[in-house]
Structure 1
Amino acid sequence: MRTPDGAELRVHLRGPADAPVTVALAHDWALTSDIWRPILAPLVADPDRPVRVVRFDQRGHGGSTLGTRPFSAAVLGDDLLRVLADCAPHGPVVLGGHSMGGRAVMALAAARPAFVGARVAGVLLAATAAGRLDPADPGLPPLRRAAGALRRAAARGLARAPGAVDRLRALLPPHSGAYRAAVRRAAFGSRADPVLVRECAELLHSTPTRVAVGFYEPLVRHDLSGRLGALRAVPVRILAGGRDRLVPLRHTRALARALPQAAVAVLPDCGHMLPLEAPEAVGAHLAALVEEAATAA
């Protein structure tokens, strides 16, 4: 589907168009909608409770093009709304967002509270944060602030010559041991399946540098924690990995304070890649939200 600024979003549909509940899934930064594949079968397994599942590659990722709008959390929320308008124009929807996908859900809620109140029957927020992830914020230890400043400076430097960076990245392919080891340490918990680490490494490696660094600043600097009022009237489940190095548990606790009615679950051995590391748990929470939505409908 095409957006007004010219981005083309690749959308995957599964399940009948007239299903009583639609599940829409938004993926993480520098990945694709493929990370949701492990949870699809359980969601659509019950023929007596049909579900339509909509997942899409966020702009610039996977099979989606970038368009002309500036990088921002708002554009992610707008894209999610457009996908819902096109693929699920009627009936209750359950939204699932992993990390940056969670930001897309929260940006939609901040910008369109009336839509959330009228259509959204449940929300799953996995390994995500509403507040700023930037460790350069005042009040943090000096070493963490310095590390945050260095990461921001590095991202801005990479953004000046993304084509050259892509050529350098090609010298360290995703199947190399060093690349996989780095991905495993940064994104996975203590019991990472090597096959899933390899899949994640390939997805990360395929994301253009321009896209990765472009969305970095909005993700670490933007704060939505004061604009989530629409989600307080919706069943929300928050999932976190106990070994998540990218979105540590302090951000989960802050999100839970912003959404005090939400149910919170921590998967102690998991890292950041919850849809890959714990598809049964993620699928079970989504299925429970679908059941609540269908019963309410």
Structure 2
Amino acid sequence: MIPLRQAADQTRTVRTPDGAELRVHLRGPVDAPVTVVLAHDWALASDTWRPTVARLVAGPRRPVRVVRFDQRGHGGSTLGTRPFSAAVLGEDLLRVLEDCAPHGPLVLGGHSMGGRAVMALAAARPGFVAGRVAGVLLAATAAGRLDPDDPGLPPHRRAAGVLRRALARGLARAPGAVDRLRALLPPHSGAYRAAVRRAAFGTRADPLAVRECAQLLHSTPTRVAVGFYEPLVRHDLSGRLGALRAVPVRILAGGRDRLVRLRHTRALARALPLAAVAVLPDCGHMLPLEAPEAVGAHLEALAALAGEAAEAA
């Protein structure tokens, strides 16, 4: 049984220099030998990690501290004044780490946009990664462009990317009006949930997981969703991941992921040739909600390696 003092999250606020207030949830003993820090996906919130957190705190032989946070503009976090970029995600992650896990080895878990935050941190602060990070899980994420416009690509793929970017820019011009239109299709409607299930889940998704994902997506402001869209699909970090090549890394992908295709997983594996790669064939994009047991098992294994290394040192 989990002690009552560990059963509920502690919540705190981490402030950034530009005025963003990041809501952070912490669980597990303060003196745990390893801290697992989890970053969530685009247009969602850290609640997507709750099933995984429950397993991490209850399961490992060695106790772990778990930190999850809402990225700026998402969930309970405010947006701040910085322009939308992949770099700011890495800087926010670093501030959370320095504030909430200032000592001891770290295991970082990033889902989709959260994986970009981890990679942006590695690109900008390789010394920090070398000194503190003892393991990384990159779930349903990519280091390169998700929406490339290389001349060698088929015309229909390039055209689709141009249309998606144009749509995002159009929505960004009147986000308040878009939010009012979105309110006409509530997240509990069958049509909305069906669209979320098709876009983000595989064939065996739990309806409760789909419902939670739909509610989180619906609550994310249009300004935030479209603001982060182009930096995520256009930015390429694949040539700046040297710091992660010296760290145990696991790459986890969904075989039916429509948002981050397996070709992106293979490209990430080429950038990190020593990483272990696993594909969950029936899963889609929402791995922390769709396969929390598998995600938790990979994080547990990384935390165990980090604990063993800390004991040996």
Q: TM-score range by the shorter chain?
A: over 0.9
Between the aligned partners of 1:163 and 1:293, the Cα distance in structure 2 is: 50
Which of the numbers 93, 104, 111 marks the counterpart of 1:80? 93
Is residue 136–residue 248 contact of structure 2 (8 Å, CA) maintained in 1? yes
| Cα shift readout 1:64-111 (whole Å, capped 9, x = no counterpart) | 000000000000000000000000111100000000000000000000
Between the aligned partners of 1:288 and 1:242, the Cα distance in structure 2 is: 27
Identify the range of structure 1 (33-42 vs 199-208) with the bigger mean alpha-carbon deviation.
33-42
Is residue 148–residue 234 contact of structure 2 (8 Å, CA) maintained in 1? no
Post-superposition offset of 1:45: 1.7
| Cα shift readout 1:114-162 (whole Å, capped 9, x = no counterpart) | 0000000000000000000014333221111111111000000000000
Between the aligned partners of 1:136 and 1:35, the Cα distance in structure 2 is: 31
Closer/same/farther in 2, CA of residues 296 and 252 from structure 1, 3 Å limit: farther
Is residue 131–residue 223 contact of structure 1 (8 Å, CA) maintained in 2? yes
Query: Unaligned regions of 5+ residues in structure 1, if any?
Result: none
Closer/same/farther in 2, CA of residues 296 and 28 from structure 1, 3 Å limit: farther
Between the aligned partners of 2:80 and 2:57, the Cα distance in structure 1 is: 32
Is residue 93–residue 119 contact of structure 1 (8 Å, CA) maintained in 2? yes
Closer/same/farther in 2, CA of residues 77 and 9 from structure 1, 3 Å limit: same
Closer/same/farther in 2, CA of residues 205 and 292 from structure 1, 3 Å limit: farther
Between the aligned partners of 1:282 and 1:214, the Cα distance in structure 2 is: 28
Closer/same/farther in 2, CA of residues 54 and 190 from structure 1, 3 Å limit: same
Closer/same/farther in 2, CA of residues 194 and 259 from structure 1, 3 Å limit: same
Closer/same/farther in 2, CA of residues 266 and 38 from structure 1, 3 Å limit: same
Between the aligned partners of 2:282 and 2:59, the Cα distance in structure 1 is: 29
Which of the numbers 286, 294, 297 marks the counterpart of 2:310? 294
Name the SS of the counterpart of 1:129 in structure 2. coil
Closer/same/farther in 2, CA of residues 296 and 185 from structure 1, 3 Å limit: farther
Closer/same/farther in 2, CA of residues 292 and 123 from structure 1, 3 Å limit: farther
Query: Unaligned regions of 5+ residues in structure 2, if any?
Result: 1-13
Between the aligned partners of 1:110 and 1:135, the Cα distance in structure 2 is: 21
Name the SS of the counterpart of 1:9 in structure 2. strand
Post-superposition offset of 1:49: 1.2
Closer/same/farther in 2, CA of residues 47 and 184 from structure 1, 3 Å limit: closer
Identify the range of structure 1 (48-57 vs 280-289) with the bigger mean alpha-carbon deviation.
280-289
Between the aligned partners of 2:306 and 2:172, the Cα distance in structure 1 is: 41
Between the aligned partners of 1:81 and 1:61, the Cα distance in structure 2 is: 17
Post-superposition offset of 1:296: 5.0
Between the aligned partners of 1:256 and 1:296, the Cα distance in structure 2 is: 29
| Cα shift readout 1:223-273 (whole Å, capped 9, x = no counterpart) | 000000000000000000000000000000000000000000000000000
Post-superposition offset of 1:188: 0.3
Between the aligned partners of 1:79 and 1:201, the Cα distance in structure 2 is: 25
Closer/same/farther in 2, CA of residues 207 and 174 from structure 1, 3 Å limit: same
How much is the aligned-residue C-alpha RMSD, in angstroms?
A: 1.3
Say whether 1:105 aligns with 2:118. yes
% identity of equivalent residues: 90
Identify the range of structure 1 (136-145 vs 261-270) with the bigger mean alpha-carbon deviation.
136-145
TM-score by length of 1: 0.97
1:240 paired residue number? 253
Is residue 136–residue 147 contact of structure 1 (8 Å, CA) maintained in 2? no
Runs of 4+ in structure 1 off by over 3 angstroms are 286-297
Between the aligned partners of 1:293 and 1:237, the Cα distance in structure 2 is: 17
Post-superposition offset of 1:42: 2.0
Between the aligned partners of 1:99 and 1:106, the Cα distance in structure 2 is: 11
Between the aligned partners of 1:220 and 1:111, the Cα distance in structure 2 is: 19
2:26 paired residue number? 13
